[in-house]
Amino acid sequence: MEKIYIKKNKLKALDNRHPWIYSGAVAKMPENLNDGDIVEIVTGEKLLGYGFYAPGNQIVCRVFDYTRRPIDPTTQEYWNEKIASAYAMRQAHVISEETNCYRLIHGEGDFFPGLIADVYNDLVSVQILIKGVDRIAPMIVKAIQNLGFERIYNKSKEISKRLENVETPKGWLTEKQGSPKVEVIENGVKFWVDVETGQKTGFFLDQRDARALVGKYSKDAKVLNTFSYSGGFSMYALKAGAKLVHSVDASQPAIDLCDENATLNGFTNGENGNHQGFCSDVFEHLNKMDSNDYDVVILDPPAFAKSAKVITQAARGYKQLNLKALRKIKKGGIIFTFSCSQKIDKELFRKIVFQAAAEAHRNVRILHQTTQPNCHPINIFYPENEYLKGLVLYVE
């Protein structure tokens, strides 16, 4: 393999096992390498690890192995072992008779930059995010098949094709295909997931623990689930014995799927049912909400800040959303509020919610602080991996 040479005064990040190498840290660039090639990372004659090379990018290399001895990461056996290791952790701590949907590979969280792989029953939905992973896609497919999964679907983003030159086509990567819509179970709650048309890889698996926590506060409660998508939080609330659950989303297909999931779990939809879906703007719905309407309100919006340039605007959006709910929630009510914006860290998010609470002139206490579940592990060397944060508030 070709080598990239790291400047001696730029070794701190690598010594601390951060997975990104910026172009300014490289002393000597290889001349005959292609985008996505696997390289040895060295300083002088000392081997530091292996990574995916990305010429012309600010992040010129993404490290996937810190082994300081010669290995061959171009072989099928290497990737079999790497993916099997991630699966073993899920087998020990995630998978059960009550849960057959989970994240199998969480990018840098599993020391595998550029790859997301989510399991939905017998189907695996992947996102290939960088050229290096794109180049080894057939080996990834084979490694996942070795775990016993025969159906693998590529849900890669258009932005990955445009910015990272990812060429693996969207769609099935295996001979065995079947329906892209599959029934899954999570903590005993059933969902329909469509990997072809659904958000992300098909479902928001990162809120599994928070959904279970919603259930603990929902018995005999009236619950509002905003930005509901397919009704993850709604189904947990219903399963826990909520009197009534309203799901609100701007997408009619999302509300239709939400209704399907309610039926799947044995609940009824409509004005006289346990569950009612509303295709509506969330901010407008909160404006119309009466102060005695709900005991529990869930605020789980999409990422308001996808880049550092819009942090101020995003903070304003989060504040207004929380302010509306804090003003309208019933006395003694519970608010679950979340941010999945990586650029909004947990300290900033807490400050935003504090500002909303102060402006609402109500006493607010934090009962829980939430993050992503254990199938979305946080690489201790890569704190940016901790993107999801949430607060559970008691409002007097």
pLDDT in tens, 230-280: 999 999 999 999 999 999 999 999 999 999 999 999 999 998 999 999 999
Residues of the chain with pLDDT > 90: what percent?
A: 87
**Mean pLDDT along residues 151-163:** 88
Residue 45 pLDDT: 87
**Mean pLDDT along residues 324-351:** 95
Residue 159 pLDDT: 80
pLDDT band at 70 (very low <50, low <70, confident <90, very high): very high
pLDDT band at 197 (very low <50, low <70, confident <90, very high): very high
Indicate whether 30 pLDDT > 90: no
Residue 178 pLDDT: 95
- For 342-379, b/e burial (b = at least 16 CB within 10 A) is bbbbbebbeebbeebbeebebebeeebebebbebbbbb
Give CA–CA dist 44/47, Å, rounded: 8
More confident residue, 264 or 309: 264
Instruction: Return the residue matching tokens 């290889």.
Output: 30
pLDDT band at 160 (very low <50, low <70, confident <90, very high): confident
Residue 305 pLDDT: 65
Give CA–CA dist 222/292, Å, rounded: 10
Indicate whether 163 pLDDT > 90: no
Structure tokens at 71: 């290995």
Give CA–CA dist 266/284, Å, rounded: 30
Residue 304 pLDDT: 82
Indicate whether 19 pLDDT > 90: yes
Give CA–CA dist 245/253, Å, rounded: 18
**Mean pLDDT along residues 49-55:** 96
- For 206-230, b/e burial (b = at least 16 CB within 10 A) is bbbbbbbbbbebbeebbbbbbbbbb
pLDDT band at 107 (very low <50, low <70, confident <90, very high): very high
Indicate whether 309 pLDDT > 80: no
Per-residue H/E/C for 74-101: CCHHHHHHHHHHHHHHHHHHCCECCECE
In this predicted structure, which of 119-123, 156-160, 204-208, 358-362 has the lowest mean pLDDT? 156-160
Give CA–CA dist 167/134, Å, rounded: 7
Query: Are the C-beta atoms of 353 and 391 separated by less than 8 Å?
Result: yes
Structure tokens at 261: 């999931």
Indicate whether 56 pLDDT > 90: no
pLDDT band at 183 (very low <50, low <70, confident <90, very high): very high
**Mean pLDDT along residues 138-159:** 95
pLDDT band at 82 (very low <50, low <70, confident <90, very high): very high
Give CA–CA dist 167/131, Å, rounded: 8
Instruction: Give the mean pLDDT of the chain.
Output: 95
Structure tokens at 318: 């989060």
The partner residues of 393 in beta bridges, in order of sequence, read: 335, 366
Give CA–CA dist 37/42, Å, rounded: 15
Structure tokens at 145: 């098949």
More confident residue, 330 or 309: 330
